[in-house]
Amino acid sequence: MIALAAMLALGLGPAYAQQQDRGIGQPESNAGAGAPAVVLPPNTTVVPRSAPEARPAAPTGGGNLSLVALLTQDGQSIDQGLVWRVYADRPAADGKLKLLSTHREASPAMRLAPGDYVVNVAFGRAHLTRKITVPAEGPAQERFVLNAGGLRLIPALASGEAISDKAVSYDIYSDERDKYGQRMRVMSGAKPGLVTRLNAGIYSIVGTYGDANAIARADVTVEAGKLTEATLTHAAARVTFKLVTRAGGDAIADTQWNVANARGETVKESVGALPTHIFAPGTYTVSARNAGEVFNRTFAVQAGQVVQVEVLRQR
């Protein structure tokens, strides 16, 4: 089930500051950390500079430049959470654009030699890269329209029971595809309830509950200047394994476990006396290896179950 809520203009002026308590304005911990190791951020489209005809005749003196970012064309400027990077417009000897400066102010002002530059602005996972021209005389301002929105992911169980946010993580994929036809991953390990800032577009969400195969998928559309909320419902069962010499007996320590699905594919491996894992509904075969011997059992689980599977060690 997906619920879309177009309920705010993210990061805009005073309204943006007033909504920080809801998580909209909280910068992501890894957003914009350090200079990128590659030439430009992934999935970057370089658009033409704003004034190609205004190329200065001579690179003498300097020009004053200020930068402003907006979520939408007619929106207010974003007042925090931005990272700006200014690059030379021509590759260096190593084929990469040289990073000239990094700025974390909302609207940085700088003095640059007249000429062309490449500027990237990042707002969470949303970003835009453009070529600009700094004139020889007079101040110049460049506006960057990110066309960005927010995505909040909410987990749920098919059984209706509460689900711990700590037990769920999400991978976010864009609609763009690589040379193998696979979607490009934008972010991995996203946590429920937090707002992830993204460029407007269609995204594929893969949510994993637990550490095995209880996976939920959904496609969502992020709109510029709006918050999209998506609820992913997981069908899952909690299973504890136990190797015993008799039914109801004590668990045998130092046991290696392998759980395979009906197709024979390994779903989970672990070691211990009483390992507990979360599985999607289905039929499985569990193998318990102890003291050089292997003992098997086939079992089936349904959504919402909490079960203990005993494997009998036969002598």
Q: Give the model confidence (pLDDT) of 15-72 as tens digits.
A: 333 333 333 333 333 333 344 444 455 555 455 554 444 443 333 446 899 999 999 9
Enumerate the CATH 2.60.40.10 domain ranges in the chain, comma separated.
Answer: 237-312
Helix (H, G, I), strand (E, B) or coil at 310: strand
- Which of 5-14, 110-119, 243-252, 273-282 has the lowest average pLDDT? 5-14
As to burial, measured by CB atoms within 10 angstroms (0-12 exposed, 13-18 middle, 19+ buried), residue 262 is exposed
Q: Give the distance from CA 141 to its chain's centroid.
A: 31
By residue count, the chain amounts to 315
Residue 259 has pLDDT above 60, yes or no: yes
Classified as helix, coil or strand, 59 is coil
**Would you state the pLDDT for residue 143?**
96
Q: Which of 55-64, 89-98, 232-241, 294-303 has the lowest mean pLDDT?
A: 55-64
Residues of the chain with CATH 2.60.40.1120: 31-53+61-145, 149-234
* Predicted confidence (pLDDT) at residue 264 exceeds the cutoff of 80: yes
CATH code of domain 31-53+61-145 = 2.60.40.1120
Q: What are the residue ranges of helices labelled H in the chain?
A: 13-18
What is the CB-side half-sphere exposure of residue 176 using CA atoms within 13 A?
A: 11
Q: What would the mean pLDDT of 124-148 be, rounded to a whole number?
A: 93
Q: Which region among 61-65, 236-240, 304-308 has the lowest average model confidence (pLDDT)?
A: 61-65
Beta pairing, strands 256-261 & 282-290: antiparallel
- Bigger pLDDT: 206 or 15? 206
Task: Inform me whether the pLDDT recorded for 257 exceeds 80.
Answer: yes
Asked if residue 120 has pLDDT above 60, the reply is yes
178 confidence band (pLDDT: 50, 70, 90): confident
**Which is more confident, 45 or 267?**
267
Q: Is the pLDDT of residue 241 over 60?
A: yes
Q: How far apart are CA 170 and CA 186, in angstroms?
A: 11
Q: What does the pLDDT average to over 122-148?
A: 94
**Residue 181 pLDDT > 90:** no
Q: What percent of the chain has pLDDT over 90?
A: 71
Place of tokens 């030439």: 39
Q: Determine the pLDDT at residue 62.
A: 61
User: What is the predicted pLDDT for the residue at 24?
Assistant: 35
237-312 to CATH, choices 1.10.287.540, 2.60.40.10, 3.40.50.720, 3.40.50.2300: 2.60.40.10
Please state, in angstroms and rounded to a whole number, the distance separating the CA atoms of residues 82 and 103. Answer: 8
Which residues, other chains included, contact 64 with Cβ-Cβ below 8 Å and sequence gap of 6+?
Answer: 109, 110, 111, 138, 139, 140
Residue pair 232/169 in contact by the 8 Å Cβ criterion: no
pLDDT of residue 251: 96
Mean pLDDT over each residue of the chain, to the nearest integer? 84
CA–CA distance, 168 with 156 (Å, rounded to integer): 10
Q: 273, 245, 270: which is closest to 259 by C-alpha?
A: 270
CATH architecture of the domain 149-234 equals Sandwich (2.60)
Amino acid 61: pLDDT: 46
> 286 near 255, Cβ under 8 Å?
no
| pLDDT at 191 exceeding the cut of 50 | yes
Q: Which 8-state DSSP code applies to residue 60? A: -
The pair of structure tokens assigned to 235 is 């069908």
